[in-house]
Amino acid sequence: MIDLSPLIERITSQVPALKLVGGAARFEEAQEGIKTLPAAFALLARESPDPSPFMDQLVQQRIVVDFVVLVACRNLSDASGKAAAETMQPVRHAIRQALLKWAPDAEHDGCEFVNGEMLDFVNKVLWWQDTYRTAYMIRSD
């Protein structure tokens, strides 16, 4: 399983434009009404194992880990969300540059980008989700 702490630290140190960076607990607080923007939240999305190539003797599997970075931006200059989207692009780019090829620890592969999508636009806050992927190996004793 991936520890998201190094990921959160990486985003915090590499993307100074962000005023708030956190994990699930901070995201839960933000859903109540986010005030500190722009913000990013890292959450584990899924772990998917590849089949073990061995039968009964040993289990060795590559675990593919998807995690999401939720980004929230606001630009009050228009109600349509266009200005917020323009504000978000450099933030997303900086996060992507911080994460591509970066490995959270020695056991994980470097991160790669999977996809991105708009989640919501409410109270002039644009929420965007980018999914990234890494992997690690597990093995039975």
Per-residue pLDDT of 88-116, as tens digits, reads: 999 999 999 999 999 999 999 999 999 99
What CATH number did the domain enclosing 19 receive? 3.30.2000.10
Mean pLDDT on 7-13: 98
Q: How many domains does the chain fold into?
A: 1
CB atoms within 10 A of CB 13: 10
Q: What's the pLDDT band for 34 if we cut at 50, 70, 90?
A: confident
10 alpha carbon, distance to own chain's centre: 11
The pTM of this model reads 0.90
What's the confidence (pLDDT) of residue 54?
A: 73
Q: 47 is written with which tokens? A: 């772990």
For 46, other C-beta atoms within 10 Å of its C-beta total 11
Which of 13-17, 49-53, 76-80, 87-91 has the weakest average pLDDT? 76-80
Q: Does 70 score more than 80 pLDDT?
A: yes
Residues of the chain with pLDDT > 90, as a percent, come to 66
**What's the whole-number average pLDDT of the chain?**
91
pLDDT of residue 68: 98
Amino acid 2 reads I
- What pLDDT was estimated at residue 81? 73
The CA-based dihedral angle spanning residues 96, 98, 99, 102, taken in that order and rounded to the nearest 10 degrees: 150
Arithmetic mean of pLDDT, 58-77: 91
Domain assignment of residue 90, given as a range: 5-139
Is 80 exceeded by the pLDDT of residue 127? Answer: yes
Nearest to 123 by CA among 85, 73, 88, 68: 73
